[in-house]
Structure 1
């Protein structure tokens, strides 16, 4: 007894292996409380930053970090990380507006309101933030262009086959 691996146990009980692995990690760190049902939680920006810092400092995976902080959906940490890297961390604290499939991306970017302050009077951090924003916009436009070209190629290939 006790010699079966996680994959064997998951297969025997028809449970997803990754789900079982997450349960085991939660139990090892938090005991029975790690397996009990929790209400949906809202996490403060401070908590999110603490989680991301610990994950980065200790080079933990998303799953390890989720188990350590008793976060049931490890994917949310990846979302926090992406928001943090994009500089839109405040947006991550807003609850999703609607469940289900996200809307299609629009082809037009909203206009960027350029500040009227001249560059010499702006701080280095403000300028770096603007550079980061502009780079993201350029990357977005490049990706959009690549997707449009791909869509056009696929349409042409379908047309040729017809």
Structure 2
């Protein structure tokens, strides 16, 4: 949420427009910085009430370059350029300019934000359709029978072990 609401900004702008007072006097009356008043008045003059709304923008590299080119061609200040293109953060223009001078157009391309994903999504493995017993070879069937026999023997031993532990526990309780 922004520090100042749209209604507050509009009231400040209207107060400035109705009187013969300057930016500093209006700012002093509302106890804010005079540069806010100046920016809000200019935003309102160029863009109307929409210029006072909070704005979340992501700019393409082409847009950034065109803004910088326009600023250089017309020899505008950061403030004038930001107000003209409805860019709310004045400092972003200096960042764009510095990036462009250090890395060219590639430096203006927006980068993804945030932490990279730790893991890629799991690949879905398609289960192979089960073969019918008639289509399987003798070796495959014998291999499955041996596997099932080992599994059965393991489960029998596990069951015997659990029963033995239960019996020992019940004998200890009797003592």
Whether TM exceeds 0.5 here: the answer is yes
- Equivalent residue number for residue 93 of structure 2: 77
Aligned to 1:9: 26
Partner in structure 1 of residue 50 of structure 2: 33
2:65 to 36, 49, 53: 49
**Structure 2 gap segments, 5+ residues each:** 1-17, 116-175
Counterpart for residue 83 of structure 2: 67
**Does the 8 Å CA contact 2:43/2:86 hold for their aligned counterparts?**
yes
Larger radius of gyration: 2
- Asked if structure 1 preserves the Cα contact closer than 8 Å seen for 2:100 and 2:107, the reply is no
8 Å contact 2:44–2:51 — kept in the other structure?
yes
> How many pairs align?
97
Over aligned residues, Cα RMSD in angstroms? 1.8
Give, in whole Å, the separation in 1 of the partners of 2:26 and 2:112: 36
Mapping 1:1-162, distance limit 5 Å: 2-38=19-55, 40-92=56-108, 93-94=110-111
Quick one: structure 1 residues 17 and 96, their matched pair in 2 at CA, closer, same or farther if it must change by over 3 Å?
farther
Partner-residue secondary structure (3-state), 1:70: coil
Q: In 2, distance between residues paired with 1:14 and 1:82?
A: 34
TM-score, scaled to structure 2: 0.51
Task: Report deviation, 1:96.
Answer: 5.7
Moved over 4 A (4+): 95-98
